[in-house]
């Protein structure tokens, strides 16, 4: 579990692929003395497991599912990536609850300066966008952000200078792809309501209406 507050902007040192397996090696300023084999680190929002670490870098295996769902497969050597270590139970929850399980990708369709901030617009699949609500939370490449506006398959966020400078967003332009993780609570609500599935059981809008909640 993560919070979406980026700890370090790392650099992709190597992406190895072959024989149905893949791994990434990331150069980072994260304190190596505090890392442990098997711990989780979110790389651009995707939860990966540390298999090797030392000398300012760590390596993690990447599953076929992660390669398919995220932008990791398209990263080039030298790419800057957002890094966050797993949340401690005693930590402050400064962002929102982020699992590191990416729901899909989105394309940047807008990047406009507004005062001291930047408005980023993203276009994504409807299966992802239906779980995004205005003023709710969303993780973009692992960054905890507040949704500004939602229009069909698009949504916007406002990026303050600090976030732009300390994350990979500074190097992203219109047309770029990012990883999206929608709000965890919203997923469970949609599942319980059986959104888009008339065969779903459990809590439904009809049941809520009959019970006097609607």
CA distance 162 to 156: 18
pLDDT of residue 31: 95
189 and 129 both lie in a single domain = yes
CATH number at 62 reads: 2.40.30.20
pLDDT of residue 175: 97
What's the domain count of the chain?
2
157 and 186 both lie in a single domain = yes
pLDDT of residue 197: 53
Q: Is 208 inside any structural domain? A: no
- Structural domain range at position 189: 104-193
DSSP 4-49: S---EEEEEEEEEEETTEEEEEEE--S-GGG--TT-EEEETTEEEE
77 and 120 both lie in a single domain = no
pLDDT of residue 158: 97
Q: What is the pLDDT of residues 110-149, one digit of tens each?
A: 999 999 999 999 999 988 998 999 999 999 999 999 999 9
Cα angle 183, 184, 185 (rounded to 5 degrees) comes to 95
pLDDT of residue 202: 59
Neighbours of 19 (CB within 10 A): 5
Q: What is the pLDDT of residues 12-52, one digit of tens each?
A: 999 999 877 899 999 999 999 999 999 999 999 999 999 99
- Which of 210, 8, 196, 124 minimizes the C-alpha distance to 132? 124
CA distance 152 to 134: 12
Q: Is 203 inside any structural domain? A: no
What's the rounded mean pLDDT across residues 51-60? 96
79 and 26 both lie in a single domain = yes
pLDDT of residue 46: 98
Average pLDDT value for the chain: 91
- Which of 26, 185, 195 minimizes the C-alpha distance to 99? 185
Q: Is 206 inside any structural domain? A: no
Residue 204 token pair:
């439904």
78 and 120 both lie in a single domain = no
Buried b (16+ CB within 10 A) or exposed e, 21-58: ebbbbbbbebeeeebeeeebbbbbbbbbebeebeeebb
116 and 187 both lie in a single domain = yes
pLDDT of residue 67: 93
């Amino acid at each position: 579990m993560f919070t979406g507050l980026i700890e370090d902007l790392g650099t992709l040192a190597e992406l190895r692929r072959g024989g149905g397996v893949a791994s990434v090696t990331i150069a980072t300023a994260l304190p190596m003395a505090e890392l442990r084999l098997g711990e989780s680190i979110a790389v651009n929002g995707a939860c990966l497991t540390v298999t090797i670490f030392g000398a300012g870098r760590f390596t993690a295996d990447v599953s076929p599912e992660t390669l398919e769902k995220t932008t990791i497969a398209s990263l080039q050597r030298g790419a800057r990536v957002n890094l966050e270590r797993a949340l401690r139970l005693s930590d402050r929850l400064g962002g929102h609850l982020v699992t590191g399980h990416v729901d899909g990708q989105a394309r940047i369709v807008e990047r406009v300066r507004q005062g001291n901030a930047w408005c980023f617009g993203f276009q994504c699949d409807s299966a992802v966008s239906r779980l995004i609500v205005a003023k709710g939370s969303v993780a973009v490449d692992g960054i905890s952000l507040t949704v500004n506006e939602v229009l069909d398959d698009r949504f916007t966020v406002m990026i303050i200078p600090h976030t732009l400078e300390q994350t990979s967003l500074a190097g992203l332009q219109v047309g770029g792809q990012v990883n999206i993780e929608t709000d965890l609570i919203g997923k469970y609500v949609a599942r319980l309501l059986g959104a888009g599935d008339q065969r779903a059981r459990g809590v439904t809008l009809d049941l809520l209406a009959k019970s006097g909640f609607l």
